[in-house]
Structure 1
Amino acid sequence: MADTNSLTGRIARYARVGGTGIGLAAQMGAARIFGGEVDKAAGAAQLRAALGGLKGPVMKVAQIISTIPDAVPPEYAAELAQLQSNAPAMGWPFVRRRMKSELGADWEAKYTTFEHEAAAAASLGQVHRATGLDGRRLAAKLQYPDMASAVEADLGQLDLLFGLYKRFDKSIDTAEIHTELADRLREELDYEREAKHLNLYRDMLGNEAGVHLPEVVPELSTRRLLTMTWLDGRPLLDYKTGSLEVRNRIAENLFRAWYIPLHHFGVIHGDPHLGNYTVRDDLAINLLDFGCIRVFPPRFIGGVVDLYRAIETGNEALAVDAFERWGFTGLSREIIDTLLIWAKFLYGPLLDDRKRVIDASGNPATYGRETAQKVHARLRELGTVTVPREFVFMDRAAIGLGGVFMHLQAELNWYAMFNAMIAGFDEGALAAKQAAALERAGL
């Protein structure tokens, strides 16, 4: 099947979800005209049912927006968060055709073995175990056909979803959220770019004994096929009932895998999903899947550090400056105070100099939701706020990582670890390190 952004592919994609969207839009319109109430819970369940029947990026988009505070109402977030990332795998005839289109008619001769059944299937592609001619065990990540069409159609559905939200709530301007999601999702289609992201992470974390990353096999990789070395590991949740010592060690390795790239290079892994980590026998972690990587301007990371210092010291002027460097504009005193509620929640564990769990609620699925709802209610009273695009994945990744730590119920001194990470932070030095690392990775 041709992998193009075809009109027919997009039309077919819209048709499968469009009926649900139109129905929900009609409900919203009727409520506005006749003064009735929209049954948001029922509508959200209806939308999840429609999205859940699709394979491809629409599920990834839905999962992402469910984790961004205020991107959609709480009823929608709760339903969309239930969508699973796994999708039915392509059968062997499909796989053979796709591999032939990527590596040529003799593609099978380029591997010693290539398993017919997929080892894993997700929203954009599936992974097959293989063995290289040099004997190395490999993971061949093959993109599903016609994903360009699927992405564009699904982004159209995202327009619809945000449009529905605007009908009854104008406190958050979602324009920048949409732009950021669209750019990152289109990037994920480019496996050559993902290979460069992987090499970037191997560079940034090369000295971390507790973090392992696969190696790219360039001669067996293309724009829609990424072949890497296979890393053995067990699912992170297998350790959920392990001893506190075991869970703490895994959490510390995860912390370093995420914060070293952020505060030393201005880069984050924007999809801290449980399935993107596995744990080795020595409790080191394997970091997997590098499609969703966000590189931040150094000024943004400077703002992240300065906002932390501002909250720590009560320096309001520094907090305002940090928000402005993040890209927030036209902020009133009331809006700044409201945003600080959310910032203090995110930074809270990093300001508490003692061993503790990341959050005492014990429910990873609702981590941050109550605070987000409080902030959202206040912003609704104050007027529309445009969320800067850099903030979208930073916020989403922080919430996702916090949820992973909650699954582990790790008890660590997050304050001590974080302050060791940002000790001597210098925006100019970060800019130089970032530029050098990106150049080495070919980005």
Structure 2
Amino acid sequence: MSDLPRKAVTRTAKLAALPLGFAGRATWGLGKRIGGRSAELVAREVQQRTADQLFKTLGELKGGAMKLGQALSVFESALPEEIAGPYRAALTKLQEAAPPLPAATVHAVLAERIGEDWREYFLEFEDKPSAAASIGQVHRGVWHDGREVAVKVQYPGAGEALLSDLTQLSRFARLLGPLVPGMDIKPLIKEMRDRVSEELDYELEAQAQRVHAEEFADDPDVVIPGVVHQSDQVLVTEWMDGVPLADIIAEGTAEQRDRAGQLLARFLFSGPARTGLLHADPHPGNFRLLPPAEDRDETDSSDEGGAEAGPWRLGVLDFGTVDRLPGGLPATIGESLRMTLEGDAAGVYGLLRAEGFVKESIDLEPDEVLDYLLPIIEPAQVEEFTFSRGWLRDQAARIADPRSPAHQLGRQLNLPPSYLLIHRVTLSTIGVLCQLGAAVRLRDELEAWLPGFVAESEEAEEPDEPAFTPGSQEPEPESVPEGGA
């Protein structure tokens, strides 16, 4: 592949072929059923063939098409194993790689966005990309001061491709529904469209990453690369090694899986409390598992306390999509979780109605709402919960089955716009935890970081702890060689 296929007619033709392929396979499946094969077996084969075509096309196109593929890939745990298994490798590949742009195109972007003398910024620059994703690819280099860096270059025409893809995909979103039971694809695509401008703005991404890097600079568990240089369509950050989370999912040890899961949950809930920002792209390609820092006290990393005492740290990449939450996650989430665990059906129902989760025109039975929520929050009911594909499949089947009470009730609930991104990030993170099969003490993280989860009376009994606050000072501008941009 020599360039990002960004001509609207080319991309539209490829995407338009998807629903035609879906229809053809449905006809083929009908013929198989008439021929005597069971409906269940035929449906699984049709679904598998559909997924094969879908993810192959999304991966080739990059842009919004591949971005949707990445978002869907974290939910493969919800599919029956006999369907998910054959194309799990394709989903993982989407998270880590895509066909690269040629070096000449990359050099042209660097010359245009940094300056004709862009090579003076680097002691070394590798033309072959180390990673490629939906709107840009990453090259490894050595900055002029000797630091190893990651250079993210945005694909030419990425904005146009993103909007074109998502518009086209939204037209047949309902056909993608069966790939992820219990999930409505159309709102996901709409939310992606609404955030296109943020995704393309590397200045906003640099600001979000600087805030996180400063706040987590001395954190023993989470590592955020610092921002080295930023210009339009080019972002240079510190290089971060480590084991991609996709590799941990595929072949990690139980200790690595548990450690990664614990820290992923911790980052999800602590990030908004500490920075006022929610990292909103939690697919495995954006995380690494890192060995301990060289200067870390060895006694800390050798304690025998299970996954929590393990030496591995979580590295976090890509802050192109964030949700701005100045007060942290809404207290309503913590309060409703706590009330649900306490069995306070009336309290939960009143809170959900007040926040708009239950519209004024709809009346529901509070006890039925509680019954709907309890299985979903099972991980918070116990001291330690082992996430698994089987558990997620059960939840998806319960909600997706039109005959189930959970499905009927779920259709009557409403998701307020302010909670949409939080909801998607939480579901995506749960999907990754299930891919990991991690044993996680989720309740510990909720008690530590989620506003409202611990009752005010209980908080009053605890000694005061110093609060985390995001840094208020902007870092000094990065020095560049004379004659730079």
Return 5+ residue gaps in structure 2 as ranges: 28-33, 293-311, 456-466, 476-485
Which residue in the other structure is 1:59 paired with?
Answer: 66
300-309 vs 240-249, which deviates more? 240-249
Q: 1:157 to 1:210 in 2, by over 3 A?
A: same
Q: 1:424 to 1:166 in 2, by over 3 A?
A: closer
2:192 is aligned, of 178, 181, 188, to 181
Structure 1 position 374, deviation (Å):
1.5
Structure 1 position 77, deviation (Å):
9.4
Contact 2:75/2:428, CA 8 A, preserved across alignment: no
Report the secondary structure of 1:217's partner residue.
strand
CA RMSD of aligned residues (A): 4.5
After TM superposition, the score normalised by the length of structure 2 is: 0.71
Q: Which letter maps to 1:230?
A: W
Report the secondary structure of 2:428's partner residue.
helix
How many residue pairs are counted as aligned between the two chains? 420
Structure 1 position 164, deviation (Å):
4.4
Structure 1 position 108, deviation (Å):
0.9
1:287 and 2:316 matched: yes
Which residue in the other structure is 1:420 paired with?
Answer: 448
Contact 2:199/2:321, CA 8 A, preserved across alignment: yes
1:234 and 2:243 matched: yes
Contact 1:65/1:72, CA 8 A, preserved across alignment: no
Which residue in the other structure is 1:118 paired with?
Answer: 129
Q: How does 1:358-369 map to 2 (within 5 A)?
A: 358-359=386-387, 362-363=388-389, 368-369=392-393
1:398 and 2:426 matched: yes
Contact 1:67/1:77, CA 8 A, preserved across alignment: no
Contact 2:356/2:416, CA 8 A, preserved across alignment: yes
Structure 1 position 152, deviation (Å):
0.9
Q: Which letter maps to 2:377?
A: Y
After TM superposition, the score normalised by the length of structure 1 is: 0.77
Report the secondary structure of 1:255's partner residue.
helix
Which residue in the other structure is 2:396 paired with?
Answer: 372
User: 2:417, 2:218 → 1: CA distance?
Assistant: 31
Q: 1:122 to 1:335 in 2, by over 3 A?
A: farther
Mark the structure with the bigger radius of gyration. 2
Report the secondary structure of 2:318's partner residue.
coil
Q: 1:325 to 1:148 in 2, by over 3 A?
A: farther
User: 1:78, 1:405 → 2: CA distance?
Assistant: 17
Deviations 1:125-157 (A, max 9, x none): 111111111111111011111101110111112
Return 5+ residue gaps in structure 1 as ranges: 30-35, 428-432
Deviations 1:410-441 (A, max 9, x none): 434332342233477799xxxxx99x849767
Contact 1:326/1:390, CA 8 A, preserved across alignment: no
User: 1:75, 1:162 → 2: CA distance?
Assistant: 24
User: 2:335, 2:373 → 1: CA distance?
Assistant: 12
User: 2:367, 2:275 → 1: CA distance?
Assistant: 30
337-346 vs 281-290, which deviates more? 337-346
Q: Which letter maps to 1:11?
A: V
Q: How does 1:7-46 map to 2 (within 5 A)?
A: 9-21=7-19, 24=22, 41=47, 43=50, 45-46=52-53
Q: Which has the higher helix share?
A: 1
188-197 vs 171-180, which deviates more? 171-180
User: 2:128, 2:373 → 1: CA distance?
Assistant: 45
Identity of aligned residues (%): 28
Contact 1:20/1:46, CA 8 A, preserved across alignment: yes
Contact 2:244/2:289, CA 8 A, preserved across alignment: yes
